[in-house]
Structure 1
Amino acid sequence: MRALFIGISCFISSFLLSQQKEEFRAVKGYYNQHRTMLNKEFRKKFDAESNTFKKAAIKGDFLFFMKKMDSIENTALVGALLRVRNLEDLESIKIPKDISIDTVDKSVDLETAPNYPGGLNTLRKEVANLMYTDGVYSEVKMIKTSVAFIVEKDGSISNVHAQGDNFTFNRQAEIALYSLSEKFVPAMAKGDPARFQFRLPLTLTME
């Protein structure tokens, strides 16, 4: 059993404008469709079988296939993470240095900070549920990372970067943040939506 504990702090920063990425939704949609198909086929086979021992074997095969599907999906999500990171790096290169980037003026107090639908507890639960802990490898029991990401003016997120000692935990944390199902309600400054950076500390306990 692995337990994930999340704390949230936030601070303002300036980064390049980027739209929420659809790469992760596409990957998850593809594999969820295949899970549904597999589930139907195994269900048919399970219901048609009258032998108790064979039913148990069918159930075992189903669980094995689903575990394999999770692993294959994770590989695809790692690929999506690399593509998104490359696109964000390219976007930052394209902006000439003499062009000012729209940022929040740090001297101006925010009227409201960004908020995830349902609040911080909902955000914590969703990140924990999205975390593929089987993809985290560690010889120590407790590992930590700190994930920084930008909440854009439209509520999407970008520039997700996890900094911690365990590379596999960092990668899974980044994938989880990019895979959030909802957009944030953006921060407000001077009556207008403002860019904002969240920092999300994560701790994973391996048991």
Structure 2
Amino acid sequence: MKNFIIFLGIFLNITTFGQQKEVKNENPKSISEVPNLAELRTKMKLDDVVTQADTAPEFPGGMEAFYRTFGEKMDVIEEKSRKINVRVYFIVEKNGFVRYVTALGENKKHLQAAETAIRRMFVRWKPAMINNEPVRFLYTFPLALKKY
């Protein structure tokens, strides 16, 4: 391919994977503070979903494994614009499986590629816990791509 898209950063609103057990205060404190909530409600079942928990959901292998796997699974797409902004949402269910993957942004090709990358990562997560009970957890992170 003529152009390569390099990941400049995947910044997770939820920064706890692997070693840390508590969710940072960087997360929306409630579901009502989630960006694009009205549009999400049309695409996801948000009943009983939380954005903060005593223990955050954990990807097997931690944050670095998530970055690496996501990067490997995401298709490279040629694009004329210099910068692409996408926000990815998904729910880690009580059983640890990911459901309701949705990406929001301006470029449909990148939205579809981000959603497909998450779906290709068919891995069972350690679910989020509140009072030692598993809960449905809304995971969200911005994805910033820049073309070189």
Q: What TM-score results when the alignment is normalised by the length of structure 2? A: 0.71
Amino acid at match of 1:120: M
Report how far residue 13 of structure 1 moved.
Answer: 4.2
- Which is strand-richer, 1 or 2? 2
Which structure features the higher share of helix residues?
1
Query: Could you tell me how far apart the structure 1 residues matched to 2:123 and 2:50 are?
Result: 26
Tell me how far 1:114 sits from its aligned partner.
0.4
Work out whether residues 117 and 184 of structure 1, in 8 Å CA contact, stay in contact via their aligned partners in 2. yes
Deviation at 1:173, TM superposition (A): 0.1
Pairwise mapping of residues 2-151 of structure 1 onto structure 2 (< 5 A)? 2-4=5-7, 5-10=9-14, 11=27, 13=31, 101=47, 103-104=48-49, 110-133=53-76, 136-151=77-92
Residue type matched to 1:171 in 2? Q
Whole-Å separation in 1 of the counterparts to 2:89 and 2:50: 19
After superposition, where does 1:148-167 map in structure 2 within 5 Å? 148-167=89-108
The Cα of 1:138 is off from its aligned counterpart by: 2.1
Secondary structure of 1:9 counterpart = coil
User: Could you tell me how far 1:110 is from its partner in structure 2?
Assistant: 2.2
> Deviation at 1:105?
6.7
Question: Does structure 2 conserve the Cα–Cα contact (< 8 Å) formed by 1:147 and 1:162?
Answer: yes
The amino acid that maps onto 2:73 is L
What SS does the corresponding residue of 2:68 show, helix, strand or coil?
helix
Shift of 1:190: 1.5
2:141 & 2:103 partners in 1: Cα distance?
9
Once residues 50 and 72 of structure 2 are traced to their aligned partners in structure 1, the CA distance between those partners, rounded to angstroms, is: 35
Gaps of 5+ in 1: 15-88, 93-100
Task: Give the aligned CA root-mean-square deviation in angstroms.
Answer: 2.5
Aligned position for 2:35? none
Larger radius of gyration: 1
Which runs of 5 or more structure 2 residues have no equivalent in the other structure? 15-26, 33-42
Shift of 1:121: 1.6
Q: Report runs of 4+ in structure 1 exceeding 6 Å deviation.
A: none
Return the offset for 1:119: 0.9
Count residues with an aligned counterpart: 120
User: Contact between 2:49 and 2:138, CA under 8 Å: does it hold in 1?
Assistant: no
User: How far apart, CA to CA, are the structure 2 residues paired with 1:105 and 1:196?
Assistant: 5
**What is the rounded CA distance, in whole Å, between the counterparts of 1:177 and 1:105 in structure 2?**
20
